[in-house]
Amino acid sequence: MTLPAQIAAIQKNASEEIRVCLQHFKGHDLCDIRVFGMFTTGKVFMPTGKGVAVNVMLLPDLIHALQEAERKAREMGLLAKSEGKT
């Protein structure tokens, strides 16, 4: 695989999407989770300053934390039992 590599794009709203990418920056392998927005062109998504880049070594911890957040959201009734699962 060549870096950068886009893993997923999740539509946030009509003018923004969240992209998950793997990339190499200043000697570090990173997972970048960033909001991309449509600006003046209205046709091309561009990266914003909103996001987080973490070392790929932290991915297991991040995934675990997100799974716990999902579990808690379901427990609190914020997500339906089948919502978001494919």
CATH 3.40.50.20 fits 5-58, yes or no: no
DSSP string of 4-72, one letter each residue: SEEEEEEEEETTEEEEEEEEEETTEEEEEEEEEEE-TTSSSEEEEEEEEEEEGGGHHHHHHHHHHHHHH
**Each residue of 18-58: pLDDT tens digit?**
999 999 999 999 999 999 999 876 688 999 999 999 999 99
pTM: 0.83
Helices (H), 1-86: 59-75
Q: Are 19 and 30 in contact (CB under 8 A)?
A: no
